[in-house]
């Protein structure tokens, strides 16, 4: 028997769309309430642990009277109930995460941060306040401030082998500037007891080594290609530009995205580039042959905010990982991109994530959280949030440092802060 499709009347369709919108809004509200409740429960646990000590602890101080048996019983019962509630929110922890350092000084929200490949113990940040800064990781001291851009600085990347920084800006330009800092001078300043904070003037760099033009909209991201002789950029003008670093010449303008580009990154060992867009797609550009090719992937239902290459995780095969405002992270095998091998479901929009060499993905969210997952989608942990040491607005980006003993994960957000964390994986 032949079945015919029934058209939904426009009024009914409109009503259904409205109802689905209400359902989605209610779901978002419940998620937010769940996060707030989780924070309250954790705060309550801390207060309970501080207030209700064991009898032995009270007896150490003879001035304090031990609690009565009834109070102890009530305290233990409350702690047990609280622990039960907390455990319902948490999966088994596979990593210890501790706050280490705060980097404060920007006058507006931070968009991005990066660490150099040269091994120097510094971190770079960039902000909507039109500046980029380089900080000493251990002391939190600003070492250099770059003020060459006329608009918000939206991304920062260090050269693969040189003391150079690459920044992209809302002023429609991309700059390369000298990022070398003298840590010996910092040690002398730190040992000078007569020097006050006001005396420590941050060196300012105003002039770039190289400027790249050609975009007609804000440039949201840029990256060095293999070896650092070329760069790729991503702009709101819907194009990604490929430039020669030595001549500043525009080599190729990559078109095809239907909406603004949000991100661009390159492969660490091959001439491959991935671009992400508000059109819900990401594109893989192949420059290994004389005739360039491009592949389009539609694995998300909202803006693709970030996409990066990695060989981390089991097997060491090349993968591509994409994140989106649709609250998902997807892991793809580069040799077979027909469908993702892993999908991670998040509670909030995904921003610029980072992948460690051991395969742990640090995911910054709009809801102020930073979650840790492995490449199989298993939750590892989340960055702790306390009254003092936490982001108070959305977390925009994270970056791993593989060989720094002081802190190995950094996050930044629209609360104008960058934070350093020590993340240690628990051994089985």
Q: Which is nearest to 182 in space by CA: 230, 121, 231?
A: 121
Between CA 399 and CA 124 the distance in angstroms is 10
Q: What is the DSSP letter of 60?
A: H
Report pLDDT for 135: 98
- Residue 76, SS3 per DSSP: helix
Contact 286, 292 (CB under 8 A): yes
Is 50 exceeded by the pLDDT of residue 84?
Answer: no
Report pLDDT for 30: 64
Average pLDDT taken over every residue of the chain: 84
- Other beta carbons within 10 angstroms of residue 351's beta carbon come to 25
Is 50 exceeded by the pLDDT of residue 80?
Answer: no
**Region 83-103: what's the mean pLDDT?**
65
Residue 418 sits at the vertex; the CA angle it makes with 213 and 350, to the nearest 5 degrees, is 75
Is 60 exceeded by the pLDDT of residue 67?
Answer: no
Rg (CA), the chain: 25
Is 90 exceeded by the pLDDT of residue 81?
Answer: no
Between CA 291 and CA 251 the distance in angstroms is 13
Report pLDDT for 421: 97
Over the stretch 329-349, which tens digit does the pLDDT of each residue have?
A: 999 999 999 999 999 999 999
Residues sharing a CB contact under 8 Å with residue 234, sequence separation 6 or more, in sequence order = 168, 219, 220, 221, 222, 240, 261, 262, 263, 264, 275, 276
Q: Please, what's the b/e burial string for 176-210 (b: 16 or more CB within 10 A of its CB; e: otherwise)?
A: bbebebeeeebeeeeeeeeeeeeeeeeeebeebeb
159 band by pLDDT with thresholds 50, 70 and 90:
very high
**Region 116-144: what's the mean pLDDT?**
96
- Where is average pLDDT lowest: 8-22, 359-373, 393-407? 8-22
4 band by pLDDT with thresholds 50, 70 and 90:
very low
Residues sharing a CB contact under 8 Å with residue 59, sequence separation 6 or more, in sequence order = 66
Over the stretch 273-314, which tens digit does the pLDDT of each residue have?
A: 999 999 999 999 999 888 889 999 999 999 999 999 999 977
Q: Are strands 132-136 and 122-127 parallel, antiparallel or unpaired?
A: antiparallel
At 20, list the tokens: 């689905």
Q: What percent of the chain has pLDDT over 90?
A: 66
At 113, list the tokens: 């941060």
Read out DSSP for 209-248? Answer: SEEE---SS-EEEEEEPGGGSEEEEEETTS-EEEEETTT-
Is 50 exceeded by the pLDDT of residue 375?
Answer: yes
Report pLDDT for 42: 55
- Where is average pLDDT lowest: 87-96, 140-149, 164-173, 369-378? 87-96
Torsion angle of the four alpha carbons 326, 329, 335, 337, in this order, in degrees rounded to the nearest 10? -20
Is 80 exceeded by the pLDDT of residue 49?
Answer: no
Chain-centroid distance of CA 31 in Å reads 21
Report pLDDT for 213: 98
Q: What percent of the chain has pLDDT over 70?
A: 77
Between CA 243 and CA 231 the distance in angstroms is 5
Is 90 exceeded by the pLDDT of residue 422?
Answer: yes
Q: Describe the strand order of the beta sheet including 132-136 as a list of residue ranges.
A: 110-114, 122-127, 132-136, 142-146, 204-205
Q: Describe the strand order of the beta sheet including 261-266 as a list of residue ranges.
A: 261-266, 272-277, 282-286, 293-297
Contact 233, 248 (CB under 8 A): no
Q: What is the pTM of this model?
A: 0.77
CA neighbours closer than 13 Å in the CB half-sphere of residue 239: 16
At 89, list the tokens: 């929110």
Contact 298, 256 (CB under 8 A): no
Give 9: exposed, middle or buried? Use CB within 10 Å, 0-12, 13-18, 19+. Answer: exposed
Q: How far apart are the first and last CA of the chain?
A: 60
Over the stretch 182-231, which tens digit does the pLDDT of each residue have?
A: 887 665 555 555 554 545 689 999 999 999 999 999 999 999 999 999 99
Cα torsion angle, 79, 85, 89, 90, sign: positive
What is the enclosing helix (H) or strand (E) of 173?
none
Between CA 374 and CA 380 the distance in angstroms is 7
Report pLDDT for 15: 72
Higher pLDDT: 52 or 178? It is: 178
Contact 269, 316 (CB under 8 A): no
- Where is average pLDDT lowest: 80-84, 128-132, 177-181, 284-288? 80-84
């Amino acid at each position: 028997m032949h079945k015919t499709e029934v058209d939904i009347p426009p009024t009914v369709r409109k009503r259904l769309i409205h109802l689905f919108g209400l359902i989605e809004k209610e779901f978002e509200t419940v998620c937010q309430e769940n996060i707030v409740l989780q924070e309250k429960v954790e705060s309550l646990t801390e207060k309970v642990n501080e207030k209700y000590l064991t009898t032995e602890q009270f007896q150490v101080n003879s001035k304090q009277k031990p609690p009565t048996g009834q109070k102890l019983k009530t305290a233990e019962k409350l702690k047990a109930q609280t622990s039960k509630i907390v455990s319902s929110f948490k999966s088994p922890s596979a990593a210890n995460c501790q706050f280490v350092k705060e980097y404060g000084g920007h006058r507006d929200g931070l968009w991005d941060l990066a660490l150099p490949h040269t091994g120097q113990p510094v971190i770079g940040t960039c902000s909507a306040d039109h500046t980029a800064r380089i900080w000493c990781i251990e002391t939190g001291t600003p070492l250099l401030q770059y003020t060459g851009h006329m608009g918000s600085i939206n991304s920062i990347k260090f050269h693969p082998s040189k003391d150079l920084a690459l920044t992209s800006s809302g002023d429609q330009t991309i700059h390369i500037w000298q990022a070398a800092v003298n840590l010996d001078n910092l040690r002398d300043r730190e040992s000078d007891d007569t020097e006050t904070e006001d005396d420590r003037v941050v060196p300012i760099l105003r002039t770039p080594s190289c400027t790249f033009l050609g975009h007609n909209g804000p440039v949201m991201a840029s990256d060095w290609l293999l070896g650092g002789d070329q760069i790729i950029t991503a702009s709101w003008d819907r194009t990604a530009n490929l430039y020669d670093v030595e001549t500043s010449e525009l080599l190729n303008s990559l078109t095809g995205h239907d909406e603004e580009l949000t991100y661009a990154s390159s492969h660490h060992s091959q001439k491959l580039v991935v671009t992400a867009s508000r059109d819900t797609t990401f594109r893989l550009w192949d420059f290994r042959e004389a005739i360039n090719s491009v592949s389009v992937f539609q694995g998300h239902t909202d803006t693709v905010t970030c996409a990066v290459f990695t060989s981390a995780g089991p097997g060491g095969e090349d993968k591509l990982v994409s994140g989106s405002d649709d609250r998902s992270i997807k892991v793809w095998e580069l040799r077979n991109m027909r469908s993702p091998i892993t999908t991670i479901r998040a509670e909030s929009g995904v921003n610029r994530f980072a992948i460690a060499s051991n395969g742990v993905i640090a995911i910054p969210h709009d809801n102020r959280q930073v979650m840790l997952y492995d490449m199989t989608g298993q939750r590892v942990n989340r960055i702790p949030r306390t009254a003092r040491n936490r982001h108070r607005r959305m977390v925009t980006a994270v970056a791993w440092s593989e060989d720094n003993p002081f802190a190995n994960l950094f996050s930044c957000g629209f609360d104008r802060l960058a934070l350093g964390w020590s993340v240690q994986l628990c051994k089985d």
